[in-house]
Chains A and B, each alone.
Chain A
Amino acid sequence: MKTIKYYIPMIALMGAALTFNACDREKDEEEEAPELMFKSGGSYTAADATVSVGDVVTIGIEAEVHEEKDPLKKFNISKSVNGGALEDVYNEDLSSESFDYDFTVTIDSTQKGNTEKYTFTVTNRDGLTGQKSLTLTVN
């Protein structure tokens, strides 16, 4: 019995600690990424389009987050020409739950024959992104 007396407290210590970790933890649902949409109507271009030299193209975006505590942190426009690497065109630091922006590009002769893909991205505080792309084919 004396021997058991020594062991019981030790076993109890180990058991108590392990018990804390025996329960399953439920995994939380995924957080929703911010939403980004193209403005439509009026003079806005909201889908892939074929354009000509001299055209003025306006692409409008609207973005919003789903939770107040995860505001938008960055707005970025990148461009890829003829399938090449993405290059930054515009960056803006944000601190808001919603954002809208009109991006205007005037097609010039240097762009003749190009296929230009514009990618619009908003990123929230948790690093989640909302993204939309649109391709202009210059004839």
Chain B
Amino acid sequence: MEVIKGPLSILHGSEAVGGVLNLIPEQKAPAGTRTWDVGTRVQSNTHGPLLQVGHKVNHGSWWWGVRAAAESHSDYSDGSNVRVLNSRFRGAYGMANMGFVRKRWLSENYYSFSYNQFGFIFSDLSQFLTPDERWSQSMFGPHHLVRLHIVSSENTVQLRKSTLKVMAGGQSNLRQEDEGGGKLSLQMELLSALATVRWTKPISQRTTLIVANNSSLERNTNYGFRKLVPDAWMKESSLSAYLRHGLGKWIVEYGAGGGWRNIEALPTPSVNSEEKDIGPFIQDRYFANGMAGLSWNPSRSWNLKINSSTGVRAPNLSELSSNGLHEGVYTYELGDPSLKNEQNWNTDFTVLRLGEQVHSSVSVFYNAFHNYIYLKPTAGRWYGFPVYEFVQENATLQGGEAALYYEPTYLPGMEIGASYSGLVGRLNNGDYIPYMPAQQVTPSVRYAWNHPSKKWSGSVFTNVQIVAAQTLTAPAEFSTPAYELLNAGINAQWKAKAAVYDFSVTGKNLLNEAYYDHMSRLKTFGFLNMGRNIVFQLKIKLNSAVSR
């Protein structure tokens, strides 16, 4: 997974306000090889095994692969050795990919499937759910079921003096709620079709132009008797242009784009029917974005970079049209169809130094939101339940990261260092934004070795996550105390003639600290995060040659 930070709506459309996660599909086998792999992983805290098997073949001009996996976990224990009832989960996964290269056309195609069941934890669960056997993995209590199908095709065509990339994909996301006993209450499916066309043209040796179009069509449909958001159509299309100039030690990049988003909330019984305050609606929203960046490499060791970019996020269906009791927390939530788009402007500055032995980086950012959407308690009551409404207020998020690492040349493979991250989110009315992570410092030591025969290699690490108390909280949000988590692990790899064996043991929260992660939804119900967890993992990969 690749994390790209900062608003990137110009390249990736609306909703890319804080960053983008790039899920990199499985790499193909080396050309002319066939690979089998089998792996297992067991977690001590949840007594949870995972088993996976994969097969990949690469004939050179075409290749394919398949993978299947399954896992199942019992309820976890927190740092006080208390069982968190119904925190169990399980899943089954499948993936297939096929690709080929033909003259100027490279095509990579993927399909993935997942089916997950997650125990559902809410405030009054213990009042009606009797605990079963401690290590039971049965989904007898209330739980979510999520079934996901994703298909995608990425096609790169080399034109005479430019490159055209055409990506198309579809996704089915079916979410169901089993209230216990097999009765499904919520059944909601989001069907999505997405396409991206990107044309890259080197204008000169130093200048590259990228023009891109992103489009999507989505349909939300309710099939169950319990509904949270209405049936709806959502359409979006955006166009952007981006230029990158390399000028010696300087890189300058800038771009602009705009787009359109249409949301149509369809008549849905019990959600937006006549007796409700919010009815069906149809909206067109337009947005524009821009970005500019400057990077300077004064020497091979140094890099300084400043970026400024904007992002936009249209309110989602829940924010626009909620009108009911939120299960689990029992607050009545009221949406607002007149909410405007969130628009943000981010500036970040990074200094990076890669020395012979010492590497360091410092990065600071300032992110200003216009019309930030959040859930605000009101003085109103709905038949005794507190009423919250989705409102908008300008807000700022600012913070930074720093890292310092030492790799002594007298001890190759050793790395000693520490990293820091912190941010503050605040509304213009003075309130803090909820669910902002606390400041964290992580000192670490890592040592990696390679045997001269190149048959053996491995690594060992330890680090301590030192997390500060989070007291900059939103109204009605709980603050969380400081905590430290000791983590460590060891990995060993052995390369035989036609096989590679990889074994690792990793321990998280080795001192069994009882703590609340401020980002955890469960802290509201008084549930601590996971206690000590030791993970054992073994992977075996077998290689053989194939004809090309």
Which residues on B sit within 8 Å (CB–CB) of A125? 124, 327
Assuming A6-B100, A70-B179, is B384 touching A28 (CB within 8 A)?
A: no
The reply on B409 being an interface residue by CB < 8 A is no
Which residues on B sit within 8 Å (CB–CB) of A131? 383
Bound complex: CA of A115 vs CA of B324, how far in Å? 30
User: Are B327 and A21 interface neighbours, CB within 8 A?
Assistant: no
Q: Which single member of B64, B102, B381 contacts A9 (CB below 8 Å)?
A: B64
Assuming A21-B191, A31-B185, is B149 touching A75 (CB within 8 A)?
A: no
The reply on A10 being an interface residue by CB < 8 A is yes
Assuming A6-B102, A31-B185, is B384 touching A91 (CB within 8 A)?
A: yes
User: Are A88 and B183 interface neighbours, CB within 8 A?
Assistant: no
Q: Which residue of B lies closest to A21 (CB)?
A: B172
Shortest beta-carbon distance from A40 to chain B in Å: 24
Assuming A70-B179, A74-B383, is B98 touching A28 (CB within 8 A)?
A: no
The reply on B225 being an interface residue by CB < 8 A is yes
Shortest beta-carbon distance from A33 to chain B in Å: 10
Shortest beta-carbon distance from A69 to chain B in Å: 5
Assuming A20-B172, A70-B179, A95-B128, is B149 touching A78 (CB within 8 A)?
A: no
Shortest beta-carbon distance from B66 to chain A in Å: 11
Shortest beta-carbon distance from A42 to chain B in Å: 27
How would you classify the secondary structure of chain A's contact residues: helix, strand, loop or mixed?
mixed
Q: Which residue of A lies closest to B105 (CB)?
A: A6
The reply on A16 being an interface residue by CB < 8 A is yes
Bound complex: CA of A75 vs CA of B64, how far in Å? 60
The reply on B385 being an interface residue by CB < 8 A is yes
Bound complex: CA of A22 vs CA of B185, how far in Å? 22
The reply on B226 being an interface residue by CB < 8 A is yes
Assuming A13-B98, A69-B128, A127-B327, is B62 touching A29 (CB within 8 A)?
A: no
Which residues on A sit within 8 Å (CB–CB) of B98? 9-10, 13
Q: Which single member of A9, A31, A78, A91 contacts B226 (CB below 8 Å)?
A: A31
Assuming A13-B98, A21-B191, is B128 touching A74 (CB within 8 A)?
A: no
The reply on B184 being an interface residue by CB < 8 A is yes
Bound complex: CA of A27 vs CA of B231, how far in Å? 13
Bound complex: CA of A68 vs CA of B179, how far in Å? 11
User: Are B327 and A126 interface neighbours, CB within 8 A?
Assistant: yes
B143-163: contact bitstring with A at CB < 8 Å (1 yes, 0 no)?
000000111010000000000
The reply on B127 being an interface residue by CB < 8 A is yes
Which residues on B sit within 8 Å (CB–CB) of A88? 381, 384
The reply on B448 being an interface residue by CB < 8 A is no
Bound complex: CA of A92 vs CA of B384, how far in Å? 8
User: Are B127 and A95 interface neighbours, CB within 8 A?
Assistant: yes
Shortest beta-carbon distance from A135 to chain B in Å: 18
A67-100: contact bitstring with B at CB < 8 Å (1 yes, 0 no)?
1111101111010000000001001100100000
Which residues on B sit within 8 Å (CB–CB) of A13? 96, 98, 109-111, 151
Q: Which of B369-386 contact A (CB under 8 A)?
A: 381, 383-385
Q: Which residue of B lies closest to A78 (CB)?
A: B383
Which residues on B sit within 8 Å (CB–CB) of A129? 383
Bound complex: CA of A3 vs CA of B128, how far in Å? 61
Bound complex: CA of A75 vs CA of B384, how far in Å? 7
Shortest beta-carbon distance from B453 to chain A in Å: 40
The reply on B170 being an interface residue by CB < 8 A is yes
A24-65: contact bitstring with B at CB < 8 Å (1 yes, 0 no)?
011111110000000000000000000000000000000000
Q: Which residue of B lies closest to A93 (CB)?
A: B384
Assuming A71-B128, A125-B327, is B149 touching A28 (CB within 8 A)?
A: no
Which residues on A sit within 8 Å (CB–CB) of B187? 25, 28
Which residues on B sit within 8 Å (CB–CB) of A70? 179
Bound complex: CA of A70 vs CA of B128, how far in Å? 10
Which residues on A sit within 8 Å (CB–CB) of B270? 30
Bound complex: CA of A64 vs CA of B110, how far in Å? 52
Shortest beta-carbon distance from B378 to chain A in Å: 14
Q: Which of B167-193 contact A (CB under 8 A)?
A: 170, 172, 179-181, 183-185, 187, 189, 191
A-B contact pairs, 11 of them (CB 8 A): A10-B98, A21-B149, A25-B223, A28-B184, A28-B187, A30-B225, A69-B180, A71-B127, A73-B124, A88-B384, A91-B381
Give the 4 A-B residue pairs with the shortest CB-CB distance, closest first: A127-B325, A76-B384, A91-B384, A76-B383
Q: A17-B151, A25-B189, A27-B225 are in contact. List 14 more A-B contacts (CB 8 A).
A: A10-B107, A13-B109, A17-B111, A20-B172, A25-B223, A27-B223, A69-B179, A76-B383, A91-B384, A95-B127, A125-B327, A126-B327, A127-B324, A127-B327
